[in-house]
Structure 1
Amino acid sequence: MLLSLASETEQKLIENMLQNLTKSGSGISDGDFWIGLWRSGEGQATSSACPELYQWTDGTISSFRNWYTDEPSCGSEACVVMYHQPTANPGLGGPYLYQWNDDRCNMKHNFICKYSLDDVLEKELGDRTDTDYEVFPSVTAGKPYDENKSEDNSHVVVTETVKEEQKPAQTSPHYGFQRTPGRTVPWRYNNLMTENKAKIIFYSQALL
């Protein structure tokens, strides 16, 4: 499910991951990331209570927030992204990097997910032998996760564009499937673990 961030420590974990991707030359580019924070109470969208209406889709209870200056702006923007615009000119709140911003839920962005250690995803991906695993380049945030709905019992991934000449590393701490023209390149990080012992997955899409 979409990433929840319960503390500054978890926030820094994601920031370090994105910074390391940039340093490694993996082609990470400008593009915000959906996280699993959304706002309920549409009738109070413009009230002073609006910032208190945001909650995590996975049920995490946490007062930690990392809003950009003057955010959330509320109104029709009920879902939340983590800024990742390293080449953009800084705004009043500084660079548009890693702070949170509310956005319309029908916008398309990259995204980040977190899954528990007892999840079967690692085995499912580890057993794959084909090289053309598909991921979506971007998605809308949609509605909150509902574990009672079969269509919601699936895994969300992070997408990010990479340059065509980049190759997925095959060694620790990450690995990827070899790229096939016209297909996407998933990147998986195994050594990222949050305070509540959940893992983070990142995927990348080839820019062809």
Structure 2
Amino acid sequence: MTGQTYSGGSFEAPYIGGIVVDPIACTYKWSDGTPFDYQNYYPPGPSCDGEGCLQLFADPRTNLINPPAVGYWNDIQCIVVQRAFICKKAAEMVTTI
């Protein structure tokens, strides 16, 4: 996932668009259906306990995990209201004269 863009809400723990493919194997894909080409779970990885969505730990002031998990992913329940989200879109070529 490249070209990440912030859109709306708080930066604390945005939803990053990963959804569970197989809850038993604990495998995910992007919400557009493409397979993961990058993973950055907080060790030891997703907990695989029925949490089908992913969030990004983004704000060190609100992250109470020790050691700091900023930049890492965490699996969460999809019913959790997220304060922000990150989207991906194709790059656009802009020409100026």
Question: Same-fold call, TM > 0.5?
Answer: yes
Unpaired segments of 5 or more residues in structure 1? 19-27, 119-208
Preserved CA contact (<8 Å) 1:88 1:95 = no
Alignment correspondent of 1:57: 31
Measured at CA, do residues 57 and 76 of structure 1 come closer, stay the same or move farther in structure 2, by a change above 3 Å?
same
1:39 to 16, 20, 24: 20
Superposition TM-score, scaled by structure 1 size: 0.37
Q: Which runs of 5+ in 2 are unaligned?
A: 93-97
1:97 deviates by 1.3
SS across alignment from 2:46: coil
Q: Which residue of 1 aligns with 2:95?
A: none
**1:71 alignment partner in structure 2:** 45
The CA deviation string for residues 121-147 of structure 1, in whole angstroms up to 9 with x for no partner, is xxxxxxxxxxxxxxxxxxxxxxxxxxx
2:77 alignment partner, one of 104, 117, 123: 104
Query: 2:58 is matched with which residue?
Result: 84
Structure 2 vs 1, CA of residues 100 and 89 (structure 1 numbering), >3 Å: closer, same or farther?
Answer: closer
CA RMSD of aligned residues (A): 2.7
Retained in 1: the 8 A contact 2:28–2:35? no
**What percentage of residue pairs aligned between the two structures are identical?**
31
- Once the two structures are TM-superposed, the CA of residue 90 in structure 1 deviates from its matched residue by 5.2
**Higher percent of residues as strand:** 2
- Report the TM-score, using the length of structure 2 for normalisation: 0.71
Report which of the two structures shows the higher radius of gyration computed on alpha carbons: 1
Q: How does 1:144-163 map to 2 (within 5 A)?
A: none
Question: Is it true that 1:95 corresponds to 2:68 in the alignment?
Answer: yes
Distance 2:21 2:42 in 1: 20
Aligned length: 89
